[in-house]
Structure 1
Amino acid sequence: MESTVLPRLPRTPAIRLAERYDEEVEENAGLDSVLGKAVAILRAFRVDDQSVSLAELVRRTGLHKATVHRLAGDLVTNRLLDRVVGGYRLSGGLFELGMRASVERNLLEVAMPFLQDLYERTHETVHLGVREGQEVVYIAKIGGHRQARAPSRAGGRMPLHCTAIGKALLAHSDSTLRKEVLSAHLARRTPHTIVAPGVLRRQLTKIAETGVAFEHEESAPGINCVAAPVFGAGEELLAAISITGPTSRFRPEAHVAPLRAAAAALTTTLTRADRQRAGR
């Protein structure tokens, strides 16, 4: 779709005065910088959005209309947004920036052959995820024509407590993080989501002992999952790999061996690469 250039609103003295007033209100609400407001606009876009109107961006961000219009224009100039009929959409410039994130990019480059091998062995959906705060961020997803209808996507997020890959990461994280998650509200995403802290705590203890985490319809109905952690030099937790399939035919327990082999091989490769870099 070709971009359609929309004219900027004229900024009269009255508008500029109103902007200053509203920006003061926004600062009091925690949006205390131009960067913060621009990020709020970018984060207002959702997974399924094809485009978002100016009015909807105003509603989602809580910023003043003139502020959103001005900053959206700046984001268009810097190729972070595209201006299209009906509003705005995220631009390819964001993808380019994302691919420059060195840690995730390096991890993905090393991991991809192992993920592809695991997919060829299982022909089920394979994920690679890292932890950010109390969420999993998926940095890779490989699935064929019969892949499970999982809610995950590359670049997407899910809570740690209701996914196999999240539980694998949580079980091997420090005790402070585990306490924070267990003491917080555990959101129920399906009837099978574990929301009792004691039950989840026992699961995490077992996962830490066995090195394997399971999910049975806890993040979305109709899917099962098994995951294992990936480490770097010094046993630093880096990521986790998972295999996901539909409950109608996928038995996660049957895929433990190839999953462990892939996670162990990736760990060995990453550890070797870390030591080589340290020795330069």
Structure 2
Amino acid sequence: MLVGPITEESIPMSTLDRLSVVVDCFRDAPRLTLGEVARRTGIPRSSVHRMLLKLVRMNWLRREGLEYEIGDKLGDLGALSLYRNKVDRVVTPLLQQLHFVTGHAVHLGVLEGNHVRYIQKIGSLMVPDLQTRVGSRIPAQASTIGKSLLSAGNRSVASSHNANGVRQHSVAFGICNSGMGCIGARIGVLDHMPVGLSICGPLIRGTIDKRNAAPVQMAAAAISQYFGMIDGFEQEKTG
């Protein structure tokens, strides 16, 4: 979609405004050349070139040959905004309660293809060596959240029921790259995206305290109930 024609007088004067105009060009076009950005914005080519270089250095844009596209930082922020308004009001307090009960860092993540994107993190000060950040993605197989979500393809692994018929969310155990122990659990599906949570904390005799699996399951069940995620696997199959 063309923004122009824009006269020189109508172009915002501040650098921030001009950067915003340049970034907006990529709203409807995945890749653009320098010339295409200049034509769409009406900003002089030399000025556009300087701004594109700055945006690439900031990781807001990425350059591939002669073309530019949205970079990882903007991509992460955009994806994050899709989820945060759905989790902040109710889910975040539940994650904070899980952190209070276990004393461990808590993550909430969604499965995107073969990766998990973290959309919330609680208690990071308790585990300073944990190198994760909200909005970032890691391979699903390297995350207990990812392992618990990927296991949902097997109905017998995805969930079970206790003696009272209450659905229990299965857990996955693992050790993250920082050497911390992790327990992850599948929650369900939100906006067609599998969602899970995990806790990360110090190892005790080579493993994380497995007594914390119960609080993880309870938190997953509470969040699942809030979103109406009765059975994530069945929702995906029938939805």
Q: 1:239 aligns to what?
A: 195
Is the counterpart of residue 230 in structure 1 residue 155 in structure 2? no
Match of 2:127 in 1: 147
**Residues 72-221 of structure 1 mapped to structure 2, 5 A cutoff:** 73=51, 81=55, 88-89=57-58, 94=74, 98=78, 101-147=81-127, 149-172=129-152, 174=153, 207-209=157-159, 211-217=169-175, 219-221=176-178
- What secondary structure is seen at the aligned counterpart in 1 of 2:109? strand
Superposed CA deviations along residues 67-108 of structure 1, whole A, max 9, x for unmatched, are 9984561597xxxx4xxxxx84257x9599638833443134
Computed over aligned residues only, the root mean square deviation of the Cα atoms, in angstroms, reads 3.9
Tell me if 1:258 matches 2:227. Answer: no
Q: Higher strand proportion, which one?
A: 2
Number of residue pairs aligned between Structure 1 and Structure 2: 171
What SS does the corresponding residue of 2:131 show, helix, strand or coil? Answer: coil
> Could you tell me how far 1:125 is from its partner in structure 2?
0.4
CA shift, 1:207, in A, is 4.0
1:229–1:237: 8 Å Cα contact kept in structure 2?
no
DSSP-derived class of the 1:35 partner = coil
Q: Unpaired segments of 5 or more residues in structure 2?
A: 1-14, 16-27, 34-44, 61-72, 161-168, 230-239
Which SS does the other structure have where 1:145 is aligned? Answer: helix
**C-alpha contact (below 8 Å) 2:189/2:195 kept by paired residues:** no
SS of aligned partner of 2:196: strand
Contact kept, 8 Å, 2:183 with 2:198, in 1: the verdict is: yes
Under a length normalisation based on structure 2, what TM-score does the superposition of the two structures give?
0.57
Structure 2: distance between partners of 1:215 and 1:68: 54
Alpha-carbon contact 1:148-1:223 (below 8 Å) kept? no
Q: Structure 1: how far apart are the matches of 2:52 and 2:190?
A: 42
Amino acid at match of 2:179: G
CA distance in 1, matches of 2:137, 2:76: 20
* 1:35 equivalent among 30, 36, 41: 30
- Aligned identity (percent) is 28
- For residue 226 of structure 1, what is the amino acid of its counterpart? I
Rounded Cα–Cα distance in structure 2 between residues aligned with 1:94 and 1:162:
24
Query: Which residue identity is paired with 2:114?
Result: Q
SS in 1 for 2:30: helix
How has the CA–CA distance of structure 1 residues 233 and 169 changed in structure 2, closer, same or farther, with 3 Å as cutoff?
closer
Structure 2 letter corresponding to 1:214: A
Whether the aligned pair in 2 keeps the contact of 1:108 and 1:139 (CA below 8 Å) is no
Residues of 2 paired with 1:99 and 1:159: CA distance? 16
Cα distance in 2, alignment partners of residues 148 and 207 from structure 1 = 32
1:105-148 Cα offsets, whole Å, 9 max, x none, are 31344311111111111111000000111000001111253315
TM-score (norm 1): 0.50
**Residue aligned with 1:149, SS:** coil
Measured after TM superposition, the shift of residue 248 of structure 1 is 4.7
